Amino acid sequence: MRAYHAEHQRSIEQPNAFWKEQAKRIPWFRLPETILSHDEQNHARWYDDGEMNTCYVALDHHVESGRGEQPAIHWDSPVAGQRRTLTYREMRDDVARFAGALASLGVGKGDRVVIYMPMVPEALIAMYACARLGAVHSVVFGGFAAHELAVRIDDAEPRVVIAASCGIEVDRILPYKPILDQALAQSHHQPTACIILQRDQARAELGDRDHDWQGLVSSAEMVDCVSVRGTDPLYILYTSGTTGKPKGVVRDNGGHAVALHYSMDRIYGMKPGEVFFSASDVGWVVGHSYIVYAPLIYGCTTVIYEGKPVKTPDAGSFWRLISEYRVKAFFTAPTAFRAIKKEDPDGVLLKNYDISCLRTLFLAGERLDPPTFHWLDDLLKVPVIDHWWQTETGWPIAANLQGLDPMPVKAGSATVPVPGFDVQILDRSGEPAAPGEQGSVVIQEPMPPGCLAGIWRAPKRFHGAYMAAFPGYYLTGDAGYIDQDGYLFVMGRTDDVINVAGHRLSTGEMEEVVGSHTAVAECAVIGIHDDLRGQVPLGLVIPKDGFDGDIDMLERELVSLVRDKIGAVASFKQVLVVSRLPKTRSGKILRKLLRTIADGEEFAMPSTIDDPASLQDVQETMVHRNVGDAHKARLS
């Protein structure tokens, strides 16, 4: 039996023994005796009676055990023209002082703190300072608009909000403070204070409840780590679901630290002291787990990159960073490499850098499409590893485990379930699917440590969204299959979630925004294929009876409405006004069929369609407006 199979089997058959052993790898104030327990709804909780502090595990412990002078972070910002390295000791001290500043504003154990910051070291300092106090942070991605920030503020009810004065995009400075002010004007909940990190690129005007980061820190005392239980929450991270209201995924402290530590060893094959570079954003789960927490929990150095894969200044940026910081493992989303490939198809810029330090490339956030896999495989000559996971799980569900038992790579597959995850494929009736047969990808309970502990203050929603469809199994929302060799292929979502440039977005939410326009009678938003971003949203709109306004103007208004309400990151750039939409006889819009047509695939006329001519109408409009590959779509 392969080492992988033995470890996976043990993790599933003896979860208590397996995760008890793994727990010993991190420093606890009180080692847990209860390993696996269950909450009121019978879902798994880990290490309930353990006492620890995530900030202690990631910073203080390493300083105490001799890693104080090792770099903890390398910050590199081509857009700000700055870079900075902080050792573990410097990071620990900065965090302890900022935690003191937060405490002086009344933040304590269990309080929430919303963080709205770009890729700057202070974002990590703020997150760790919350962890140090036992407070719960909720980081909101900088590409989200004021409305989205307001929704999260109302749900998390933070005592304090921390923001930077601005973010920096390729071609523009983005002042954050006006967005924060606008969000607070919309939200019912009001924090008692805001802390603003002033950046020279756009300094913010401060109001009565605003504090300047530097000013606050200069008078703050350093504070120590507060002891929390293994099951106490570390953070809330909002993610898109099928409705307009994002889900606040809650992560605990103990299981999270143990799972991330395990993953750095077994999945990423890292050694403490090495450099790990994940090019994502602190606003996403990849940023939380593999920029902020896992590398430091494991004693590695993490690279924080404030820039893009291309245009800051060119498509060689990643190669430069890997070479300069001697990166051993690099992790990003396939879309980033599609952007690089577009600008530098032959990888000419790579020749300017020595990246012999790079051992492995990891990709996630969306399926690693075979053409991008082959391009990278030919260019880099190191293992190119696709691995699959979600905000909810917080760490990979399926991977090719580089530190345990590397396996031959199959293009298009995320390889095998990670120990701890009992992945299965179920058909519509909940029966196991045969090898090679596509179905719903589910995880049999108990989910391993590190996975979501619930939805913030919404236990019913948690149950309904993930646990109700197939009792005893967690529904991932992805479709896929397992082949004869046990390799998992994850093919796409089964719900209204789309993946735009590695960013998870809800078409349901976009429909709510589009539908709120006074001239719109009905609408559908679908995710269609895009060569660079994987998917992009397309809006289809029926105006209200009697609408006699300018159609171009309406389309433009809807594009800017989504940009204003959700944010630029939605990449909602195309709307088509149509006279009817294809529906079933019971009135359900045939969204999947619309997507099939936009992507130029063969389609069958559903027997349930109410008005077959409506389909032809929409296809004609799509062809006329050059949508995707609609001109290739054929009725079978």
Closest to ligand COA by CB, 163 vs 339, is 339
Closest to ligand COA by CB, 364 vs 594, is 364
Beta strands in 339-427 (DSSP E): 360-363, 384-386, 398-399, 416-417, 422-426
**By CB under 6 A, residue 44 contacts ligand AMP:** no
Closest to ligand COA by CB, 44 vs 139, is 139
**By CB under 6 A, residue 288 contacts ligand COA:** no
Contact of 294 with 484, CB cutoff 8 Å: no
**By CB under 6 A, residue 574 contacts ligand COA:** no
Contact of 270 with 330, CB cutoff 8 Å: no
Per residue, what are the HEC states of 393-404? CCCCCEECCCCC
Candidate ranges 116-124, 471-479, 539-547, 552-560; the one touching ligand AMP (CB under 6 A)? 471-479
**By CB under 6 A, residue 129 contacts ligand AMP:** no
Closest to ligand AMP by CB, 55 vs 333, is 333
Instruction: Tell which positions 510-549 bind ligand COA, by CB under 6 A.
Output: 533
SS3 category, 434: coil
Interaction partner, residue 501 (ligand COA, ligand AMP, none; CB < 5-8 Å by kind): ligand COA
Residues 76, 81, 87, CA angle at the centre, nearest 5°?
Answer: 35
Neighbours of 242 (CB within 10 A): 16
Question: Who contacts 101 (Cβ-Cβ below 8 Å, separation ≥6)?
Answer: 129, 195, 216, 217, 220
Give the pair of three-digit tokens for residue 144.
């989200």
For the stretch 522-539, what's the b/e string if a residue is b when 16 or more beta carbons lie within 10 angstroms of its beta carbon? bbbbbbbebeebbbbbbb
Of residues 112, 147, 308, 493, which one binds ligand COA by CB under 6 A?
A: 308
What is the size of the binding site for ligand COA (CB under 6 A)?
Answer: 28
Of residues 121, 143, 175, 477, which one binds ligand COA by CB under 6 A?
A: 143
> Could you tell me the smallest distance in angstroms from the CB atom of residue 230 to ligand COA?
27
SS3 category, 542: strand
Residues 566, 567, 572, CA angle at the centre, nearest 5°?
Answer: 85
**By CB under 6 A, residue 490 contacts ligand AMP:** yes
Q: What is the dihedral of CA 53, 55, 58, 61, to 10 degrees?
A: -70
Candidate ranges 179-187, 277-285, 372-380, 615-623; the one touching ligand COA (CB under 6 A)? 277-285
Instruction: Tell which positions 231-260 bind ligand AMP, by CB under 6 A.
Output: 239
Closest to ligand COA by CB, 342 vs 351, is 342
Closest to ligand COA by CB, 418 vs 597, is 418
Per residue, what are the HEC states of 266-285? HCCCCCCCCEEEECCCCCCH
How far, in Å, CA of 481 to CA of 498, rounded? 19
Rg of the chain over Cα atoms, rounded to whole angstroms, equals 24
Interaction partner, residue 490 (ligand AMP, ligand COA, none; CB < 5-8 Å by kind): ligand AMP
Handedness of CA 186, 187, 193, 196 (dihedral sign): negative
Instruction: Tell which positions 500-559 bind ligand AMP, by CB under 6 A.
Output: 504
Amino acid at 123: A
**By CB under 6 A, residue 167 contacts ligand COA:** yes
Closest to ligand AMP by CB, 426 vs 519, is 426
Place of tokens 């209200």: 544
Eight-class DSSP state of 609: B
**By CB under 6 A, residue 285 contacts ligand AMP:** yes
Q: By C-alpha distance, which of 294, 299, 356, 358 is closest to 328?
A: 358
For the stretch 118-133, what's the b/e string if a residue is b when 16 or more beta carbons lie within 10 angstroms of its beta carbon? bbbbbbbbbbbbbbbb
Candidate ranges 80-88, 218-226, 276-284, 587-595; the one touching ligand COA (CB under 6 A)? 276-284
Site string for ligand AMP, 404-443 (x = CB under 6 A): ----------x-----------------------------
Closest to ligand COA by CB, 318 vs 603, is 318
**By CB under 6 A, residue 365 contacts ligand AMP:** yes
Residues 171, 283, 397, CA angle at the centre, nearest 5°?
Answer: 125
Candidate ranges 11-19, 208-216, 307-315, 444-452; the one touching ligand COA (CB under 6 A)? 307-315
Of residues 26, 193, 286, 558, which one binds ligand COA by CB under 6 A?
A: 286
Of residues 54, 317, 332, 596, which one binds ligand COA by CB under 6 A?
A: 332
Euclidean distance between the first and the last CA atom of the chain, given in angstroms as a whole number: 46
Give the pair of three-digit tokens for residue 145.
């608009």
**By CB under 6 A, residue 12 contacts ligand COA:** no
**By CB under 6 A, residue 501 contacts ligand COA:** yes
Interaction partner, residue 568 (ligand COA, ligand AMP, none; CB < 5-8 Å by kind): ligand COA
Candidate ranges 36-44, 47-55, 382-390, 535-543; the one touching ligand AMP (CB under 6 A)? 382-390
Name the site residues for ligand AMP (rule: CB under 6 A): 239, 285, 364-367, 386-391, 414, 476-478, 490, 493, 499, 504
Name the site residues for ligand COA (rule: CB under 6 A): 118, 142-143, 167, 169, 174, 279-281, 284, 286, 308-310, 332-333, 335-336, 339, 364-365, 501-503, 533, 568-569, 571
